[in-house]
Amino acid sequence: MARPIKMQHDKEITTMADMNNSSEEPMPSSDINHLESVFKHLTNFNLGLLILAGIIALIIGVISVAINRISGQILTAKDRQLTFDIEKVKQESLKESKRIGTEADQKIATAKNDSDQKIAGANRRSEEISNESKRKTAELRAQNLSTEERLVVAQQELERERLTRLDLEKSLRPREMYLVIYKDGTSNIDNLKTLAGTDVILESIPDAEAKRAAGDIAFILKQAGLKIVHTGITTEQIWDAVTIESYRSTSGGTDEDDIRSSTMAIIVAEFFGDEEWVAQTTSSRHGELQPNTLRIRVGFKPSPYFSATPEWEKKIMDRVHTLRRKPPIPKDKPIHVRLRSTEQFPSPPSIEK
């Protein structure tokens, strides 16, 4: 059910929904009168509210007009005051600007004068520093050149010491001789092969290194086709290095056999020189050797670090290089194989002296 609405005189008034939902019986006249009375009261109350709202609206309008007029007067007064203040500020600002400009010009002139003086001083100092720098640079360049020269000299000295040490180590190593076959099919004994069939007497002093070297010589000569007809240990006083003795005729003069034998000795000496062995050539005593025979004697390995190279050895090596008929084999020629004898040099009784 709908809730009842209380009005004046504490009477309950039924809503329109309740009336619609009520039975279809006719409403009593007392109720109708009551409703009409309520309607009149509500209409009068609404009319009173409308009149009151009109009065309030009129009052608000009057007040709004007054407010707008007063607001306009206030705004006009403020605009005039603002214009006056702005003009006053402009005047003061212009005066202050002129004053600041004057002071700024004076400060700028002073600063420019100071700056010019400082720049001139800085330029003088810069020139002094530049001159000093150039002087020091020249001194440093001279010192660097001197240091570089000393470094170069020191490096050259170190290199000489290194080469000397290598030469010393090389001079202390036992002599070794290899059969070298190159990739193009040639060998280091091709020049010796032109002496194939030549008889050779090979002797060594009773020294282990010398006998070892004599064994290498025997191996090489055999590979080249020369015939070792006699080997032995000699107790005679012979020269250091390797000595190749050639035939000398019994007549005391020089014949074709002497020249041919001397040429063969030079060819052998050339081979030893190419292998970096010290070798010399000489003639045997008259009638001691046959025309087709060479005698090779192996002495101590000479060392320039323990005894100075004698002049005769230098002359012999120069003579060998002068008389050689073929250029030496290049050291960088590609090698196929290197062979060396492992046989101990035989030591039969010495040949007759």
Task: Tell me the per-residue pLDDT of 118-127, one tens digit each, with 9 for 90 and over.
Answer: 888 888 888 8
Q: Retrieve residue 189's tokens.
A: 């004994």
From the list 184, 249, 175, the residue with the least C-alpha distance to 219 is 175
Residue 230 lies in a domain: yes
- Type of residue found at 312: W
Using alpha carbons only, how large is the chain's radius of gyration in Å?
A: 68
Q: For residue 246, with 0-12 CB atoms within 10 Å meaning exposed, 13-18 middle and 19 or more buried, which class applies?
A: buried
Q: Retrieve residue 317's tokens.
A: 């090596």
Residue 210 lies in a domain: yes
For the chain, which residues score pLDDT lower than 70?
1-25, 167-171, 252-254, 304-326, 343-344, 346-353
Half-sphere exposure of 114 (CA within 13 A, CB side): 6
Spatial separation of the C-alpha atoms in residues 281 and 261, rounded to whole Å: 11
Spatial separation of the C-alpha atoms in residues 314 and 70, rounded to whole Å: 136
Which pLDDT value is given to residue 349? 45
Which pLDDT value is given to residue 46? 87
From the list 199, 245, 204, the residue with the least C-alpha distance to 226 is 199
Distances (CA, A) of 336 to 175, 185, 188, 222: 22, 8, 12, 20
Domain span at 270: 176-339
Residue with tokens 């090389």: 170
From the list 294, 329, 94, 105, the residue with the least C-alpha distance to 199 is 294
Residue 46 lies in a domain: no
Distances (CA, A) of 131 to 123, 127, 141, 145: 12, 6, 15, 21
pTM of the predicted protein model: 0.51
Which pLDDT value is given to residue 296? 95
290: left (phi over 0), alpha (psi -120 to 50) or beta: beta
Which pLDDT value is given to residue 110? 85
Q: How many CB atoms lie under 10 A from the CB of residue 152?
A: 10
Which pLDDT value is given to residue 6? 46
Residue 40 lies in a domain: no
Angle at 250 between CA 247 and CA 253, to 5 degrees: 85
Q: CB of 340 within 8 A of CB of 216?
A: yes
Residue 274 lies in a domain: yes
**Overall number of domains in the chain:** 1
Residue 213 lies in a domain: yes
Residue 80 lies in a domain: no
Which pLDDT value is given to residue 9? 46
Residue 137 lies in a domain: no
Name the H helices within the chain: 16-21, 29-172, 208-223, 256-274, 311-323
